[in-house]
Amino acid sequence: MTGAGRGMGATIAETLAADGWRVCVNYGTAAEEAAAVVARIEQRGGTALAIGADVADPVAVDAMFERVEDEFGPVLVLVNNAGVRRDLPVGFLPPDDWARVLAVNLTGAFHTIRRALGPMIRRRYGRIVNISSISTGRPLPGQSAYAASKAGLDALTRTVAIEVARRGVTVNAIAPGLVDTGFVGEIEEEWKAAMPPRRVAQPGEVAALVRYLSSEDAAYINGATVNIDGGLTAGLAIFSPRGRPAPAGIAVDSENEEE
């Protein structure tokens, strides 16, 4: 589980652990938070291991998998949640920032998927869930790098899904809308009012979908990107108060504050 140190990723990690999965809580910079996630899992009788690794670095990813395989055995479920954002109008967006967003959000998933697939294929079972975003089809101003990275992630999801389907491996994506990741104070009432259900999603609702897509029951769901946005993207347009960028919670990822 990449990007599991905080926010939605932490909730997903704890949910999978509650189902009996032994969970690797990967983090980029949130070492203390990741340790706290492991502690909470262990307090509830689960098993978890915090490993710091920059998913943009294939050597670090390989080392992380080696350690997980040594401690827990083969990885059968991979959740790619690690992500960063650099929201600026494209004319102001430094090339290095663009590159970093693509490196973590898209290439990072490529590295973990590439490393995970072999053992999954050998065991005729694997579940890969990529955390995408509704911004792929409905971006807000300033989200060029983020939306492009997540659109690429959706394409990666579909491509790998059809490559490995006959070996019992499924690859899907989840596209959350606005999620309450603990920054409740930052989610303004006008944003909540723009959501068809008049509320934002709870992390547990996203985690429940990850849990299902990770299960044997979801064997025939493959190559899908499932929106979990309360119907926000079902309508004609997305409300954006005064054209401002989305608050930190939208299309959320757990490493939003990485740098």
Partner 1 sequence: MELKTPPSAEKMGARILEALVEFGADPEMMSPEATLEDLEIDSLDMFELAQILHQEYGIEVNPDDFEDVKTLGDAQQVLLGYLK
Binding residues (CB under 8 A) for partner 1: these are 117-119, 121-122, 163-164, 166-167
**Cα–Cα distance measured from residue 168 to residue 193, given in angstroms and rounded to the nearest whole number:** 42
Helix/strand number for the chain, H first, E second:
8, 6
Closest contact distance (angstroms) between CB of 160 and partner 1 is 11
Closest contact distance (angstroms) between CB of 24 and partner 1 is 21
Helix (H) or strand (E) holding 72: helix 58-72
* 3-state SS track over 102-130: HHHHHHHHHHHHHHHHHHHHHHCCEEEEE
Identity of the residue, 121 or 248, whose beta carbon is nearer to partner 1 in the bound complex: 121
Residues 6+ apart with CB under 8 A from 88: 97, 142
Closest contact distance (angstroms) between CB of 117 and partner 1 is 8
Identity of the residue, 40 or 123, whose beta carbon is nearer to partner 1 in the bound complex: 123
Closest contact distance (angstroms) between CB of 139 and partner 1 is 34
Nearest to 48 by CA among 22, 67, 26, 79: 22
Identity of the residue, 88 or 121, whose beta carbon is nearer to partner 1 in the bound complex: 121
- 220 given a catalytic annotation: no
Residue 44 dihedral angles phi and psi, to the nearest 5°:
-90, 10
State the Cα angle at 209 between 220 and 250, rounded to 5°: 130
* Helical packing angle, 95-102 and 144-164, nearest 10°: 30
Catalytic residue among 125, 146, 212, 220: 146
Nearest to 82 by CA among 64, 110, 108: 108
Question: Residue 237: is it exposed, middle or buried by C-beta count within 10 angstroms (0-12/13-18/19+)?
Answer: exposed
Identity of the residue, 78 or 164, whose beta carbon is nearer to partner 1 in the bound complex: 164
Identity of the residue, 166 or 242, whose beta carbon is nearer to partner 1 in the bound complex: 166
Closest contact distance (angstroms) between CB of 62 and partner 1 is 13
Residues 6+ apart with CB under 8 A from 94: none
| Active site amino acids | 146
